[in-house]
């Protein structure tokens, strides 16, 4: 159904061997937002993409595009291969990693719109945002004024985006997968720790296998494995920081967990000390040190006393560790929740990617 929006301030531009939308590109350097709807953007030497690099940091960019050369059906393997390469090249040039800007990319394969707008100037016309279009006779309208532009942008782009497929770029998708691969390990540690701290709530009573509260929930080797997971997240966060335009939701996952968890797992910390009493060698070393502190070999009770001393030390280490174990459980729960949501995002992103590249 046609939609009409009154425009109080506009001028018609007729162009040949130039870009009719060039005045809009000149406003990119001071733009507060950029919205682009197009059928095609040049894959090489695009003036539009060059000007996007001048957009101020933090300025949101939204691109809704079609992909020329992508067809609903392919009748030969050669045409399929050509389309696959075209789709891959086209996607790479407009993703947020290439542009290093917070660009949101959508593909609407029913769109033939040509709109480029900042908050102060808008072009609507026949020209694709490709250098090839500059060779054609093109006609369009330039609209100025934020009050005129905002309702037009909202009307056009809300509907285009609603029926479009959101794109998740390859680097972001790979990092999301790396985060997701951590999920199983985190879930296991979270479950084991919750069962240790809350055996009745976790269902242990039903299986008559109540954990011994005097035995630490994790061995030193298992804590090393958990520390490796935390280190992996720290590395992921570093990778994400190298891509400032990356999805903020992934940064949320890795930000704020690493340092507190590393502190809880540190050598010499209360959790480590408690876990060391899980290790037989450490218990025997403690008993040996205790025996050396007694009167001598003629004391018949020295071994029993040493064992009791070791038990008292383990009880003290357990008491000291309980607070940190509860903090660790809360941190693992938060991380697990984030990973679960990220897993859902990965499934959705994978489905969207398959819809965009229909040559597979």
CB-CB contact of 225 with 250 (8 Å): no
CB-CB contact of 138 with 125 (8 Å): yes
Q: Using CB atoms within 10 Å of the CB of residue 28, give its burial: 0 to 12 exposed, 13 to 18 middle, 19+ buried.
A: buried
Q: Give the per-residue pLDDT at 39.
A: 86
More reliable by pLDDT, 173 or 193: 193
Counting residues of the chain whose pLDDT is more than 90, the rounded percentage is: 8
User: Of the ranges 124-128, 185-189, 280-284, which one carries the lowest mean pLDDT score?
Assistant: 280-284
Rg over alpha carbons for the chain, rounded to the nearest Å, is 31
- Measured CA to CA, the distance from residue 58 to residue 224 in angstroms comes to 39
Counting residues of the chain whose pLDDT is more than 70, the rounded percentage is: 66
How do 10-15 and 61-65 pair as beta strands?
Answer: unpaired
CB-CB contact of 343 with 183 (8 Å): yes
Q: Give the per-residue pLDDT at 205.
A: 43
Q: Give the per-residue pLDDT at 239.
A: 63
Q: What is the DSSP letter of 14?
A: E
Q: What number is the average pLDDT over the span 218-227?
A: 84
Identify the CA nearest to 335 among candidates 230, 221, 238.
Answer: 230
Other CB atoms within 10 Å distance of the CB of residue 244: 13
Kindly report the CATH class assigned to 10-167: alpha beta
More reliable by pLDDT, 96 or 335: 335
Separation of CA 46 from chain center: 29
Q: Give the per-residue pLDDT at 335.
A: 77
CB-CB contact of 142 with 23 (8 Å): yes
Q: How confident is the model at residue 175 (pLDDT cuts 50, 70, 90)?
A: low
pLDDT over 70 at 258, yes or no: no
Residue pLDDT, tens place only, 108-135: 888 888 899 999 999 998 877 776 767 7
**Arithmetic mean of pLDDT over the chain:** 76
- Measured CA to CA, the distance from residue 29 to residue 27 in angstroms comes to 6
Q: Give the per-residue pLDDT at 33.
A: 92
Q: Give the per-residue pLDDT at 8.
A: 74
Residue pLDDT, tens place only, 33-55: 999 998 888 766 678 888 888 89
DSSP 39-88: S-B-SSS-HHHHHHTTSPTT--EEEEE--TT--S--SSHHHHHHHHHHHH
CB-CB contact of 352 with 166 (8 Å): yes
Give the list of residues 6+ apart from residue 196 with CB closer than 8 angstroms, or none. 211, 213, 217, 325
Q: Whole-prediction pTM value?
A: 0.57
Kindly state the tokens that stand for 148: 């005129």
CB-CB contact of 272 with 266 (8 Å): yes
Residue pLDDT, tens place only, 79-99: 888 888 888 887 777 766 566
Q: What does the domain layout of the chain look like in residue ranges?
A: 10-167, 172-356
How do 115-118 and 121-125 pair as beta strands?
Answer: antiparallel
pLDDT over 60 at 170, yes or no: no
Helix and strand numbers (H, E) in the chain are 15, 8
Give the list of residues 6+ apart from residue 271 with CB closer than 8 angstroms, or none. 216, 218, 223, 264, 265, 321, 324, 325, 328
Residue pLDDT, tens place only, 56-76: 888 888 999 888 888 888 888
CB-CB contact of 149 with 7 (8 Å): no
Q: Name the β-bridge partners of 134.
A: none
Give the list of residues 6+ apart from residue 162 with CB closer than 8 angstroms, or none. none
Name the range with the highest mean pLDDT among 242-246, 308-312, 314-318: 314-318
Name the range with the highest mean pLDDT among 43-47, 228-232, 238-242: 228-232
Q: Give the per-residue pLDDT at 119.
A: 94
The per-residue b/e assignment along 209-219, b for 16 or more CB within 10 angstroms, e otherwise, is eeeeeeebbbe
């Amino acid at each position: 159904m046609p939609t009409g929006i009154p425009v109080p301030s506009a001028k018609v531009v007729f162009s040949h061997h130039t870009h009719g939308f060039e005045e809009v590109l000149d406003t990119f350097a001071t733009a507060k937002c950029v919205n682009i709807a197009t059928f095609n953007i040049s894959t090489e030497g695009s003036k539009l993409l060059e000007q996007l690099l001048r957009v101020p940091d933090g300025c949101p960019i939204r691109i809704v595009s079609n992909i020329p050369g992508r067809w609903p059906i392919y009748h030969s393997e050669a045409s399929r291969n050509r389309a696959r390469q075209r789709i891959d090249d086209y996607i790479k040039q407009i993703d947020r990693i290439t542009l290093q800007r917070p660009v949101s990319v959508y593909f609407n394969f029913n769109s033939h719109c040509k709109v480029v707008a900042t908050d102060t100037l808008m072009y609507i016309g026949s020209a694709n945002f490709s250098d090839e279009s500059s060779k054609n006779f093109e006609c369009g309208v330039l609209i100025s004024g934020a009050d005129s532009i905002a309702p037009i942008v909202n009307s056009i782009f809300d509907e285009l985006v609603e029926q479009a497929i959101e794109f998740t770029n390859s680097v972001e998708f790979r990092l999301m997968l790396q985060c997701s691969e951590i999920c199983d390990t985190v879930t296991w540690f979270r479950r084991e720790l919750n069962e240790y701290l809350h055996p009745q709530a976790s269902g242990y009573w039903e299986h008559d296998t109540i954990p011994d509260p005097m035995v630490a929930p994790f061995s030193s080797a298992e804590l090393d494995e958990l520390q490796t997971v935390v280190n992996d997240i720290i590395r992921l966060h570093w990778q994400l920081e190298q891509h400032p335009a990356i999805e903020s939701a992934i940064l949320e996952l890795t930000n704020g967990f690493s340092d507190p968890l590393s502190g809880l797992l540190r050598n010499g910390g209360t959790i480590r000390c408690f876990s060391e009493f899980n290790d037989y060698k450490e218990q025997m070393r403690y008993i040996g040190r205790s025996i050396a502190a007694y009167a001598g070999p003629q004391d018949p009770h020295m071994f029993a006393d040493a064992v009791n001393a070791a038990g008292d030390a383990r009880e003290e280490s357990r008491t000291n560790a309980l607070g940190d174990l509860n903090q660790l459980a809360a941190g693992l729960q938060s991380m697990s929740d984030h990973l679960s949501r990220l897993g859902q995002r990965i499934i959705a992103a994978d489905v969207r990617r398959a819809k965009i590249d229909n040559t597979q």
